[in-house]
């Protein structure tokens, strides 16, 4: 006996079929994971990137550190493409005001229907000023084929960005830590209870120049909070916060020229010669945090 589906069961099958297609289609994507072990804003300042699908340019962007549009690591989502479509990405990184690229990078792969893939693309310090022949690109200092077989790519997971290496935070950099120093134009050591000079700022307040040596935190996008307390006066200085970019310096990163006002809400003559406790908290975009405390003595004159 032949059993014919009822109109209602046909409708249900149609809805389920369309839903299944939608799920398969929505899970088909390529996400580019852009990383670098170079210091953005120092080693390079601008980035031009072009994205092509099957040879057609879909995106062409100029990113600038000064404009706030260049932040790495970052994601670049490829517009929906058909199964088997070729994805091509070209990157050119430059210093400000220079025409010669510091580093270039090419990457290619194909879309796999029903799969969401992460295409890792790095701008490597070892590739700075390296020139590769046509149809090759520099990766970790060697010229290689820019094509990455989609079967070798990992499934896309938004959490990849939290463990991505950068100029200051790598798998070998250890736990987050900061060392407090001093200096406007370079890092200099600062000993506990050292007498520090203060200078008058353009708006009338007086400040000390602080500096940091940092390990285990991201090079870009970290938030710095500085606060102070005069124990002899039981007076707490209002804290200040700022988003910062670190400079790479060998096996660590640095920041200097941190202007901390020592007479906010209090007369400068009142604090001369007194000890000042300074607390610093540095938190990167992944939530990792390092803290430090030091005491300085404000110069008496």
Write the DSSP assignment of 120-144 as a string of letters.
EEEE-GGGTT----TT-EEETTEEE
Model confidence at 16: pLDDT above 70: no
Model confidence at 18: pLDDT above 50: no
Domain co-membership, 153 together with 196: no
The number of folded domains in the chain is: 2
Q: How far is CA 227 from CA 60, 157, 210, 235, 244, in A?
A: 43, 38, 12, 11, 16
Domain co-membership, 73 together with 142: yes
Range with the poorest average pLDDT among 119-123, 199-203, 271-275: 199-203
Domain co-membership, 224 together with 101: no
Return d(Cα 65, Cα 102) in angstroms, integer: 15
Name beta bridge partners: 139: 142
Helix spans in the chain (H)? 7-26, 268-271
Domain membership flag for residue 6: no
Model confidence at 137: pLDDT above 90: yes
Range with the poorest average pLDDT among 26-35, 47-56, 186-195: 26-35
The domain boundary residue, chosen from 100, 132, 162? 162
Scanning the structure block, which residue is given the tokens 């200099």? Answer: 188
pLDDT at position 160: 95
Domain membership flag for residue 181: yes
Domain membership flag for residue 171: no
Domain membership flag for residue 20: no
Q: Quick one: which of 174, 210, 204 has its CA closest to 190?
A: 210
Domain containing 51 equals: 28-162
Model confidence at 102: pLDDT above 90: yes
Domain co-membership, 32 together with 158: yes
pLDDT greater at residue 146 or residue 172: 146
The domain boundary residue, chosen from 117, 136, 162? 162
Whichever domain contains 181, its CATH number is 2.60.40.2550
């Amino acid at each position: 006996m032949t059993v014919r589906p009822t109109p209602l069961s046909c409708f249900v099958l149609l809805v389920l079929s369309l839903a299944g297609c939608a799920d398969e289609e929505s899970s088909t994507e390529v996400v580019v994971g852009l990383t670098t072990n170079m210091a953005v804003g120092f080693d390079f300042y601008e980035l031009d990137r072009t994205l092509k699908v099957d040879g057609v340019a879909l995106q062409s962007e100029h990113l600038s550190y000064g404009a706030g549009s260049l932040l790495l690591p970052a994601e670049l989502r490829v517009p929906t493409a058909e199964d088997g479509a070729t994805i091509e990405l070209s990157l050119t990184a430059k210093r400000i005001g220079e025409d010669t690229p510091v580093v270039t990078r090419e990457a290619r792969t194909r879309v796999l229907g029903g799969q969401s893939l992460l295409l890792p693309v790095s701008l490597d310090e070892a590739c700075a000023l390296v020139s590769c022949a046509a149809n090759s690109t520099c990766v970790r200092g060697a010229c290689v084929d820019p094509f990455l077989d989609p079967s070798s790519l990992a499934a896309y997971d938004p959490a990849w960005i939290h463990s991505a290496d950068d100029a200051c935070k790598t798998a070998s950099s250890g736990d987050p830590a900061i060392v407090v120093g001093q200096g406007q134009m370079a890092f200099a050591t600062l000993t506990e209870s050292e007498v520090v000079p203060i200078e008058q700022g353009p708006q009338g307040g007086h400040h000390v120049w602080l500096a940091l040596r940092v390990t285990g935190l991201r090079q870009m996008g970290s938030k710095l909070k500085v606060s102070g307390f005069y124990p002899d006066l039981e007076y707490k200085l209002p804290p200040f916060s700022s988003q910062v970019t670190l400079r790479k310096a060998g096996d660590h990163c640095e920041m200097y020229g941190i202007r901390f006002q020592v007479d906010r809400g209090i007369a400068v003559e009142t604090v001369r010669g007194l000890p000042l406790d300074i607390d610093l908290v540095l938190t990167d975009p992944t939530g990792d945090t390092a803290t430090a405390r030091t005491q300085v003595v404000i110069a008496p004159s």
